[in-house]
Structure 1
Amino acid sequence: MYIPLNTVRRCVSVVDALADLTDTARFADVALPQLARLIPCNVLTYNEIDVSARVVGCADLCCASGTAANPAVPDGFGREPLLERFPVADDTEALRIRDVVGRAELHRLCGRRGIRGTVPVRHRLACTVVPSAEFVVGIAFHRVDVPFADAEHAAIALLGGPMTSALRRAAQRREATASPSAGLELSTRERQVLDLVAVGRTNAAIARALAVSPRTVEKHLEHIYRKLQVADRAAAVAHAIR
């Protein structure tokens, strides 16, 4: 399948934006604007289902003039879920939002006026991201008139793996931060350095990202190694995600 070079570059931008994700709660904030630029559409719908916590998150991003050049948040933002089944890993039965929340919550989510009630969308391109059996994300692009091209389907399929990996890494980092045995003694700056080390950044790249000198990064790493009682950056990362 041929994918235009410009589309490939935008896919890379999505992956780069998600590389530093440290909390699954910020996935939508980071991913949706990037995806809206990648695939022009009228409405971009996002849903997440946290099975263990029995929580559903929903959002609709309305793209002005049918393109993603100037995305604007409509009055109905966050009010209308996709009431469809999302496949879950190692499960023959797919998962629905109504399987997680009660009837009252479902009616509350659906009863409000959603953005798709005012935009007559006809074409849809959807994907599901399943980082674990307990957490499922559904993303759908909607258009009024223009069908989605094969290259756009291919681009979304190409991003499935990186988006899944980004959510898994973010979950690991969040657990590491909350763990009493992993880095609670580190300063805020030391945690920032360790997070960047965990995504493969060099000392020079970390220095640029944090607006400090490479020597300062080296000193932070020395403090991290001493506090975590490890000898190198690989061991520090392994300790943090343990």
Structure 2
Amino acid sequence: MEARTEVGGVRLAELMGALSYAADLGLGQPIEHCMRQTVIALRLADRLGADAGEREATYYVGMLMNAHCHADATEQARWFGDAIAFKGDGVEVLGMNTAQTIGLLLRTLASHGTAVDRAKRLASFPGAGFKQMETFLTTHSTLGAQFAERVGFDALVSLAIGQAYEQWDGKGQPLHLRGDQICFPARVVQFAGPAETFHRRHGLHAAVAMGHRGRGRRFAPEVVDAFGAHAAEILDDIDEAGSWAALLAAEPGLVRRVPATELDAVLVAIADMIDLKSPYLAGHSRGVANLAAEAARDSGFADEEVSTLRRAGLLHDLGRLGVSSGIWDKPGPLTETEFERVRLHPYLTDRMLARIPALSRIREIAARHHERLDGSGYPRGLTAALLTPPDLLLAAADVYHALSEPRPHRPPLDAGHAADELRDQVRRGLLDREAANAVLRAAGHRAPARQGWPGGLTGREVEVLRLLARGHPNKQIAQRLAVSPKTVSNHVEHIYAKLHVSSRAAATLFATQHGLMGTYESGG
């Protein structure tokens, strides 16, 4: 991405800072963990003689390296229950011996589900579990690198994110790179993260000891040595230096901005990243954004208002990343505690975006998509007098689109039943009548029928891909399509080969980007 200094647009560092907050929550870490790891990485880079390009890449990789840690959270939750808590505890492995590590893993695998479920997990993890964990790391780094390319970062940023889980001894993922084959920003940032966590939890000496244990194995010797020699200076005033304002002020080089003409493309990339949180959400943010924008256009909104509403739709579910997939994917009723966590996600969206002045109106609309006319909504319990027309449209679009998608407790509703449910919520005083009618009118404008499928896929492969993206295992897909599991397995193999992907999350992202998940396209 070419450096831009013009007034206007949104600072790229601000957007990446918001995503770093989402990564913090997804990792089970406190807010500003990724910012503090960025400061540690920058200070290490300075002591190791990084050039300007390496230093700039280190800055952005520090905030973005873990942004896709939720991409296969559904699969993680099947093994570990609360995947966020597991990742929060998992970093402690770097300070454990083998017996302690095995003990933590066994306790986690046996922490949830029925006795039969626990026994199956414990029996299958040594084979299938470890193999899938390697796939998780490959997915996170590969999709992260693709995201960096989509938003226009320099090649070194994308390269470093793609190497985030490599190890100095060659035992990392996905390419088993060794030593100096791993680029400088990746070597520095992959150490800075656990160094920040160990320092915060256990103190300076524990962080230094953690580095020494991994020296020459997980971590580059020169990085560990530089940290060990200067740890007190590197960690000095880390809370202040890792704050939002201080880190933005420390942006290397010229201030980069995303101009208004390119902002939509960046926000779409973020929306696609958000929706990887759960297979039930594939294409949701794009679909809600497009449906709300179409309804606004039909309602006579000015072009600028339509654009603002669409952008709010793209970001409205950012806060979902801070809530465990075990809740989003739960097939049965939520407990009171679980529902309180669900109610928190619009608030998290608001807080993640609160420090980006250029997105203030977008943030306000996005954070209100679960408010209701009678005050029964959340997170603030606003009533009709305090809700604006864009708020009302986004709420109605979100409800209708969600009804048309599967959820863990129900199948998707067809268009007629979704419309009936939307009208029922109007009658109950929850949603605005005019907004709901505008959404229903817009919902009649589906994307035109395709003349062919993307990626060289066949019609049957698209059917399989859609079910795969929704999280169905091969046996369920076979039952749905009345074919054998072997046939489905062959289709999945062909799909992965044609799309050049190796995981469900990556295939889901392709399906979302190419409009295969039932999202609504703009009709105007």
Where on the TM-score scale, by shorter chain, does this alignment land: which range?
Answer: 0.3 to 0.5
Higher helix content, 1 or 2: 2
Which structure shows the bigger proportion of residues in strand conformation? 1
Task: Compute the TM-score of the two structures, normalised by the length of structure 2.
Answer: 0.18
Rg larger for? 2
Q: TM-score, length-normalised on structure 1?
A: 0.32
